[in-house]
């Protein structure tokens, strides 16, 4: 059965199915190339977003100077090495210095960077640097805990391991009590 595929991602999927020995004309696979294309576009939608678009009018001038923490932000991303998912939680904090960010904007920033082909280490740095750039706060911290299907499904095939990465800026990097306060907050209720 011949199919008219207009999206290059659909062609990639069809070629992949043929390469592994499948029949893209089989009933269960007829619409798979189109579904794959839509899914892959969604999973990489962060490339079409900018920090300015994601944040919009979400920056406010306030005299707050105490730590703001948004923890357990769920995310799903794709490992750039194997194109397999990794997923987990991001914990983000900053200490305002005249500006605050609408709370919903922090998960939006996490999602923007997660919806790209990624390395967990890079994503952690990108989130911290983005908030640092937007607010010029006294400090920024980002910790990500994730599980990687490239380690679980293939290769070493360990099921219960997780990876933690951190990016610390300003007071979180220079001041151990500030860093400890953040770590205690994100570990609470876990």
Lowest-confidence region among 6-10, 139-143, 155-159: 155-159
**Are 120 and 171 within one domain?**
yes
Q: Is 175 a catalytic residue?
A: no
Backbone angles phi, psi at 93, to 5 degrees: -140, 155
**Are 12 and 71 within one domain?**
no
Whether residue 68 is predicted with pLDDT greater than 50 in this model: the reply is yes
For β-strands 163-170 and 139-148, DSSP reports them as antiparallel
Q: Is 150 a catalytic residue?
A: yes
**Are 96 and 179 within one domain?**
yes
Spatial distance between the Cα atoms of 135 and 65, rounded to a whole number of angstroms? 12
CATH number of residue 74's parent domain: 3.30.1130.10
| List 74, 80, 121, 133, catalytic entry | 80
* Within-domain flag for 36: yes
| List 150, 173, 175, 181, catalytic entry | 150
Q: Is 80 a catalytic residue?
A: yes
This prediction's pTM: 0.93
**Are 18 and 112 within one domain?**
no
The range of the structural domain enclosing residue 105 comes to 57-187
Average pLDDT rounded to a whole number, residues 37-51: 97
How many domains is the chain partitioned into structurally? Answer: 2
Q: Is 91 a catalytic residue?
A: no
- pLDDT of 4 reads 54
| List 10, 111, 118, 120, catalytic entry | 120
Q: Is 120 a catalytic residue?
A: yes
| List 41, 64, 82, 147, catalytic entry | 82
Please say whether the beta carbons of 13 and 33 come within 8 A.
yes
CATH number of residue 31's parent domain: 1.10.286.10
* Within-domain flag for 88: yes
Q: Is 82 a catalytic residue?
A: yes
| pLDDT, tens only, 113-155 | 999 999 999 999 999 999 999 999 999 999 999 999 988 888 8
Q: Is 89 a catalytic residue?
A: no
């Amino acid at each position: 059965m011949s199919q008219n595929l207009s999206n290059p991602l659909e062609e990639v999927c069809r070629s992949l199915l043929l390469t592994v020995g499948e029949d893209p004309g089989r009933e269960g696979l007829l619409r798979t190339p189109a579904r794959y294309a839509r899914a892959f576009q969604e999973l990489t939608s962060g490339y079409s977003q900018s920090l300015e678009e994601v944040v919009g009018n979400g920056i406010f001038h306030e005299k707050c100077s105490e730590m703001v923490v948004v923890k357990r932000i769920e995310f799903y991303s794709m490992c750039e090495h194997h194109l397999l998912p990794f997923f987990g939680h991001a914990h983000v904090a900053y200490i305002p210095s005249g500006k605050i960010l609408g709370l919903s904007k922090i998960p939006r920033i996490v999602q923007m960077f997660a919806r790209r082909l990624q390395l967990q280490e890079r994503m952690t740095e990108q989130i911290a640097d983005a908030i640092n750039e937007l607010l010029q706060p006294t400090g920024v911290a980002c910790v990500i805990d994730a599980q990687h299907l490239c380690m679980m499904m293939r290769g070493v095939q360990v099921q219960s391991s997780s990876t933690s990465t951190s990016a610390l800026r300003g007071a979180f990097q220079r001041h151990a009590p500030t860093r400890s306060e953040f770590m205690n907050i994100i570990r609470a209720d876990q």
